[in-house]
Structure 1
Amino acid sequence: MKIKTAEFVISNSEVARCPNSSLPEYAFIGRSNVGKSSLINMITSRKSLAKTSGRPGKTQLINHFLINGDWHLVDLPGYGYARVSKSIKKTFQKFITAYFEQREQMICAFVLIDSRHEPQPIDMEFMQYLGEHGIPFCIIFTKADKLKPNALDRNVENYKAKMLETWTEMPEYFVTSSENGLGQEEVLNYIDNINSQFQRN
């Protein structure tokens, strides 16, 4: 898939105010500071579609972007550490869960994982939540360029082993780097294949 157009649509904190559209949506979410905004910009071949920041927790709303006129990319607030108040964190959690549980257009969630770190409880808990609610998701390992190939392979294998302690099979996963574009084609082809099935149905 080639990204021809990528347009901002709306930001809000209420699922009811999300676009009134039947287009398929793909949500990107991860722990704060996982490199989500940089990844979205890399995936869409845009330098500043999603706002990047050195301060974790910058994304604080549900952000919809219309891609190629036929699907929505949804940028969700990060979970975990963020320099915001406890009350705002509760608000994040409330509208994130509302989005996943109520938004029928959401076809797949991409859960971003920092490839440099061991499996984190907060990530495992979030994916467990998705599984328990029957929400389809894939894993995107970010910042692959920060590791040597052997270390990257080892970390991914460790993650797979950890997942298989509680899951019967490993979800689809992608290894990416926002610095060199690694994984862009694979992620876009995955979305393109689902969109083709969606249109046929």
Structure 2
Amino acid sequence: MTDFTPEQIEAARLAFARPAVFLQGAAKIEQLPEPDLPEVAFAGRSNVGKSSLINALTGQKGLARASNEPGRTREVNFFLVDERIRLVDLPGYGWAKASKVETRKFQNLGRDYLRGRVNLKRVYLLIDARHGVKAPDIEALDALDLAAVSYQIVLTKADKIGPQERQRVAEATLKAVSKRPAAFPRLVLTSSEKGFGIPELRAEVLLACET
């Protein structure tokens, strides 16, 4: 966990205060937009809060469709921020109420995206702070390492636990990924509901897209 300067936080706030729009959904790899802008992708279990986090980052509650039914995302969804950065919502894993064939289909789409996207700057792997790294997350970590894509852990719903538990989960999570080759060496604790960690995550995204 790294402190950003007030200038970096403000630059990120301004970038994400500018218009953010839903660009498109892609059900097939051929439907992906041209790789002409930097992208960051959000991955995680179906109920980890990806849509809520994207909405919190952009300050637009209805931008990404949050659902009470886990596993609704069947496509790779693209959102354009400030006409210069794309946020990518990948299909969730675990708990999807779909057949095994259908589940495999949209999860393979996510893997294909990870492997072949030359403009992908970073993947943010969302993990519920209340539960830490679970078996389905290990599978996702393995897939990210295999794709050789830089990824960073974001702990969500951190407002649901106390400060000491947050610290414990953060340390345990960092330890769990410390020897993984593609893992970024810091994480972000967030709460979409309370708003903490959101300014820092915006700064992380901006920094990743500028490198």
**Structure 2 counterpart of 1:118:** 132
Residues in 2 aligned to 1:107 and 1:170: alpha-carbon distance in whole angstroms: 12
How far off its partner does 1:133 sit? 2.5
Structure 1 counterpart of 2:23, one-letter code: V
Gaps of 5+ in 2: 1-11
Q: For each residue in 1:157-200, what CA deviation from the matched residue of structure 2 results, as whole angstroms up to 9, or x when unmatched?
A: 22223333x43776331100001111111111112223333xxx
On the 8 A contact 2:29/2:113 being kept in 1, the answer is yes
**Structure 2 counterpart of 1:163:** 177
Q: 2:114 aligns with which of 77, 92, 100?
A: 100
Q: CA 1:170 to 1:109, structure 2 compared with 1: closer, same or farther past 3 Å? A: closer
Structure 2 counterpart of 1:63, one-letter code: N
Residues in 2 aligned to 1:64 and 1:120: alpha-carbon distance in whole angstroms: 27
Structure 2 counterpart of 1:91, one-letter code: K
Q: Secondary structure at the match of 1:131?
A: helix
Structure 1 counterpart of 2:54, one-letter code: I
Please tell me the root mean square deviation across aligned C-alpha atoms, in Å. Answer: 1.6
Residues in 2 aligned to 1:178 and 1:30: alpha-carbon distance in whole angstroms: 15
**Structure 1 counterpart of 2:3:** none
Gaps of 5+ in 1: none
On the 8 A contact 2:111/2:143 being kept in 1, the answer is no
Residues in 1 aligned to 2:180 and 2:28: alpha-carbon distance in whole angstroms: 32
Residues in 2 aligned to 1:48 and 1:193: alpha-carbon distance in whole angstroms: 25
How far off its partner does 1:93 sit? 2.0
On the 8 A contact 2:43/2:124 being kept in 1, the answer is yes
Task: Confirm or deny that 1:58 pairs with 2:72.
Answer: yes
Residues in 1 aligned to 2:200 and 2:208: alpha-carbon distance in whole angstroms: 13
Structure 2 counterpart of 1:194, one-letter code: A
Structure 2 counterpart of 1:88, one-letter code: E
Percent of residue pairs bearing the same amino acid type: 36
**Structure 1 counterpart of 2:8:** none
Task: Confirm or deny that 1:145 pairs with 2:156.
Answer: no
On the 8 A contact 1:62/1:77 being kept in 2, the answer is yes
On the 8 A contact 1:60/1:77 being kept in 2, the answer is yes
On the 8 A contact 2:158/2:191 being kept in 1, the answer is yes
Q: Secondary structure at the match of 1:82?
A: coil
Task: Confirm or deny that 1:83 pairs with 2:97.
Answer: yes
Structure 2 counterpart of 1:101, one-letter code: R
Residues in 2 aligned to 1:183 and 1:64: alpha-carbon distance in whole angstroms: 22
**Structure 1 counterpart of 2:195:** 181
On the 8 A contact 1:176/1:183 being kept in 2, the answer is yes
Q: Secondary structure at the match of 1:119?
A: coil
On the 8 A contact 2:39/2:209 being kept in 1, the answer is no
Normalising by structure 1, what TM-score? 0.91
**Structure 2 counterpart of 1:5:** 19
How many residues are treated as equivalent by the alignment?
196
Q: Secondary structure at the match of 2:102?
A: helix
